[in-house]
Each structure stands twice: as structure tokens, then as C-alpha cells.
């Protein structure tokens, strides 16, 4: 097995210390930590970080990056400053734990060519509310409310500015942002990467996200190979409504007989994190996935 395998401690559903012990029982080399729920800058002193790093090493493992999860897109104006402060704090922890990667969710990449304001479906229309039609009302007209909405092009620029700032900040702390996308729209990803001038970023390759959106994981991997800095090894099924759901490894639409040899052939130097983010038995699913990997990987030599 030539892939540099890791697991995520949060998948074991235990306090951090016990999760590390459980992770060590699997045939992996690293474990990924959660920078929001497990290792927070405001609660971990430098001494505590050194002790954590030492405890991981005692179990013959390395820290395989940190994950900073968020329910909102990174550029969403709701709690934006708080979100960015949290990411910056997480970036300061990466080198201290002996790793380089911080995974962050980007959300949908806005269309940089769309100048039309994005109107919320819940925004009131002039015909909906009497006060909006009343010329003597103090309520603003719906058209005025809609004109204040940011366009996709403006959101795209904000996203570029945020990532340029964070990547530059990360570079000063020996950390690299690894960007998680909800879908792999090649043109927009390339436009985004070309606009980030400071620091450095990588792409998190996620076969499950490909399967959910109807993309070919192998094609996406080959198209973006030079930018890929992390791999989340998940499986998923695409449903008839155009969405998808994550499923245990081998039970989804990802063709592992094609993808895994492709990853091996690429001689990846990145971490490949075996994950299960849903289900009632995440830890068992992760263990089973690690065992089943050997069935798909090419024999040495």
C-alpha cells in the first residue's frame, strides 16, 4: 500500500485522547484533527500543543493536518469576521503540531462573470406587502432592497481577497490552506486560483463530492492534479433529484478500481484521509474502508 493514509479523529466519536488511541489501531500513518471542536487556539497553550504532538508520536502517528469546518461559505457575510479570526487562529497551530495543512470549506464558487445582484428568494416584492407600495411608507421599496444585494462577481472578488489574505497569513506561519469545494467546476476553480496572488493554497480532492455532482473523479483528479494538496477518501451515491449522499466505502458510485490505481500511479505526497462524515457507525465504517482498500490497490511490483 503506497498511499499515505490518515484518519480523522472526529470519526471515532470519542474525546481526543481516546480517539488517538483508537486511530492508532488502524494501518495508517497519520490522523487529522479538528481545529474547531478538538484543538482550539484559545484553549491549547504551546505546552499543551507539544504534549499533544508527543502523544500522537508515541502512537507511531503524525498529525495529518487540521480541519476548520463551517456551516457557511467562507465569504458569507454572516459572522464573517468571527469566521476569519477562527481560521487565522487555526493557521497558527499547524506548524506547532508538525504539519502544514489546514482544510477550510469554501462553499459554492460565485460566478465571476455575473454582475446581476443575487436576490434572496425570501426577499419581499412590491406586490407582496402593502407598505412597500405605499409612497408614504418608511419601508424601502423591494427594488431598493434587491439593489443592495451583492452580485456573484462581487462575492467572487471578496472570496479572492479573503483567500489571498489568509494564504499570505498562513505562509508566515508555515501553513498551507487546502480548499474544500462543494463541486468541482473546473473553469471557476482555475479562475479562482489565478486570482490568488499571495501565499499558496492547495485543493482538497474529494471523490464523494464528484459522485454527488455527477463528475468523474478520475477526470477531476487529472485536471487538477498539480493543485491537489489533500485527499478525502469518501464514497457517495448520486440520487435522482440531482443531489447525493455519502455512503460507506465501496457502496457508492465511485469506481475505486479505476481511481485508486490512478492515485497510486500519481505518486501522491499528500495525505489521503479515510473518512466517514455520516451514518450511525462512522468508526466501524472507517475501519472497514481501510481493510477494503487493499482489494482495490495494485499489487506491489
Instruction: Classify domain 5-111+152-296 at the CATH superfamily level.
Output: Divalent-metal-dependent TIM barrel enzymes (3.20.20.150)
Residue pLDDT, tens place only, 184-195? 999 999 999 999
* Degrees, nearest 5: CA angle 116-118-124: 120
pLDDT at 140: 46
Find out whether 163 and 189 touch, Cβ atoms under 8 Å: no
User: What residues does each domain of the chain span?
Assistant: 5-111+152-296, 117-150
**Which residues, at least 6 apart from 66, have a Cβ–Cβ distance to it below 8 Å?**
32, 33, 34, 35, 39, 90, 93, 94, 97, 99, 101, 102, 103
Q: Which regions in the chain score pLDDT beneath 50?
A: 121-123, 126-133, 135-147, 300-301
pTM over 0.75: yes
Amino acid at each position: 500500500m503506497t498511499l499515505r493514509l490518515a484518519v480523522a479523529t472526529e470519526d471515532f466519536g470519542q474525546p481526543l485522547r481516546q480517539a488517538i488511541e483508537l486511530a492508532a489501531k488502524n494501518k495508517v500513518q497519520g490522523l487529522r484533527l479538528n481545529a474547531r471542536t478538538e484543538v482550539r487556539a484559545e484553549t491549547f497553550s504551546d505546552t499543551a500543543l507539544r504534549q499533544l504532538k508527543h502523544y500522537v508520536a508515541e502512537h507511531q502517528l503524525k498529525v495529518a493536518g487540521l480541519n476548520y469546518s463551517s456551516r457557511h461559505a467562507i465569504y458569507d457575510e454572516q459572522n464573517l469576521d468571527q469566521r476569519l479570526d477562527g481560521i487565522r487562529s487555526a493557521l497558527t497551530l499547524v506548524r506547532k503540531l508538525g504539519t502544514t495543512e489546514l482544510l477550510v470549506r469554501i462553499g459554492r464558487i460565485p460566478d465571476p462573470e455575473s454582475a446581476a445582484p443575487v436576490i434572496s428568494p425570501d426577499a419581499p416584492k412590491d406586490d407582496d406587502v402593502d407598505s412597500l407600495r405605499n409612497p408614504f411608507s418608511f419601508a424601502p421599496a423591494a427594488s431598493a432592497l434587491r439593489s443592495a444585494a451583492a452580485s456573484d462577481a462581487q462575492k467572487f472578488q471578496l472570496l479572492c481577497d479573503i483567500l489571498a489574505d489568509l494564504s499570505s497569513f498562513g505562509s508566515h506561519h508555515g501553513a498551507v490552506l487546502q480548499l474544500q469545494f462543494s463541486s468541482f467546476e473546473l473553469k471557476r476553480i482555475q479562475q479562482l486560483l489565478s486570482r490568488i496572488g499571495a501565499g499558496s493554497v492547495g485543493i482538497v480532492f474529494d471523490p464523494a463530492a464528484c459522485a454527488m455532482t455527477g463528475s468523474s473523479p478520475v477526470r477531476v483528479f487529472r485536471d487538477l492534479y498539480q493543485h491537489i494538496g489533500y485527499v478525502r477518501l469518501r464514497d457517495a451515491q448520486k440520487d435522482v433529484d440531482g443531489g447525493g449522499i455519502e455512503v460507506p466505502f465501496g457502496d457508492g458510485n465511485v469506481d475505486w478500481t479505476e481511481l485508486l490505481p490512478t492515485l497510486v500511479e500519481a505518486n501522491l505526497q499528500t495525505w489521503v484521509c479515510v473518512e466517514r462524515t455520516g451514518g450511525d457507525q462512522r468508526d466501524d465504517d472507517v475501519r472497514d474502508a481501510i481493510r477494503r482498500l487493499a482489494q482495490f490497490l495494485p499489487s506491489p511490483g
